[in-house]
Amino acid sequence: MPRQFSNRNEALWKPSCSRRNFLLRGTLALAAGGTIAASGNLLRAAEFGPAFSGVSSASARADAANKFSGIFAILSTPFDPADEIVWDDLQREVNFCVRAGVQGMVWPQLFAEFNHLSEGERRRGAEVILRTTAGRAPVVIGVQAPERGLAIDFARHAQSHGARAVISLPPYTGAQTLEASRDYYQALAQAVPLPVFIQNSGPPWGTALPVDFVIGLARENPQFGYVKEEVAPVAHRIGEYTRSGVMKGIFSGNGGRNFLDEFAHGANGTMPACEFIEADVKICSLAIQNRMEEARGIFAKLLPMINLEGIYGVAFAKEVLVRRGIFTSAKVRGVAGEALDAKDREELEAWWKELAPELLSPPLSWNSPSGG
């Protein structure tokens, strides 16, 4: 059965105050049976769209729909021991993230092993995720590819199946200059009218884009007012994006390792891997309510897990997803053997006990949209 939350945890999901210029207009509420549902987005007061305040104009709704904030889960791709995608596991992952209260989902990026997926798998995966989500949360589809034409095809496919935005690394093969990056992103924007998240991770995944370059793109075209920033010092770069006044969605990555500092500098949200995503959602909710001591308390429990993820990568995330009954295999495509040894698992188990009170218990089946 879904976990029944204590009064303390129930109160956590009922925001009561603002943090500086932040408001939690969309509430995070407990749905029937103790499951967590997102009934709105976490938005800055200055970005709060009239579509969320009862204004019915189509232009206002469209403007508000393109403002993203909160916790956007980076989905992993499940493989069986023969390296075939387990589509049922992918659906369970989506339903788990929705039940955990995420404000959005992203696939396929680095933790989805996008560079080990075929074109057909990427298209089918996008369709499965969008169909399973069924409008319960925004989905952002990754479209980076070795050549521009294929990235454009992925973007058009994503739009045709209901993606709310696309995300892409800059060119990571061939010319990796700022000019090549500018041409690439402009081609994406010309191909689809969706918001285009610029994922700035640095080498080997393309050149590290300067902040003023990203801001310049956003000034020229509001489709580029969205960034996932992972180049150090991330928090200070986020501060620059915030002060520019042109960015609509400023996100960090790196597993959410420094999210509270990034939040203080103006981040709208972060995009962590999803194995402990409900803890990320709680931390974000508390921070927006200015309940920083509580936010840091949960963050302190989560940080050792983020550190293990940073060392062992997607193999760690998949190990956790198997333990949580979401994946049936922790296989990383093309990799033989196991990344974690017995001592690593002991460390995982020790920190799991600390974090467990903040986690959802597995329901009878993650396959159900309600989690039951």
pLDDT at 219: 98
Rounded to whole angstroms, the Cα distance separating 59 from 64 reads 9
Q: Which CATH class is domain 70-358?
A: alpha beta
Which pLDDT score is estimated for 361?
82
Spatial CA neighbour of 287 closest among 273, 268, 271: 268
What length is written for the chain?
372
Token pair belonging to 122: 């990427």
pLDDT reading at 225 higher than 90: yes
**Which of 133, 125, 130 is closest to 77 using CA atoms?**
125
How far apart, in whole angstroms, are the C-alpha atoms of residue 33 and residue 3? 8
Longest CA span, the chain: 58
Question: What integer pLDDT is reported at residue 40 of this predicted model?
Answer: 33
Average pLDDT (112-127) is: 97
Sequence-ordered list of residues with C-beta below 8 angstroms from that of 344, at least 6 positions apart, any chain: 308, 312
d(CA 33, CA 5): 9
Q: What is the pLDDT of residues 280-321, one digit of tens each?
A: 999 999 999 999 999 999 999 999 999 999 999 999 999 999
- pLDDT at residue 323, as a whole number: 95
Closest CA to 73 of 324, 283, 272: 272
**Domain residue limits, the chain:** 70-358
What is the pLDDT at residue 55? 32
Pick the more confident residue, 325 or 10: 325
Among 15-24, 75-84, 339-348, whose mean pLDDT is lowest? 15-24
Give the lowest-confidence range in 44-58, 82-96, 251-265. Answer: 44-58
Averaged pLDDT score across all residues of the chain: 84
Helices (H), 161-210: 178-191
pLDDT at 282: 97
Radius of gyration of the chain (CA): 19
Q: What is the pLDDT of residue 67?
A: 75
| Alpha carbon distance 326, 367 (integer Å) | 9
The mean per-residue pLDDT over the stretch 186-203 comes to 97
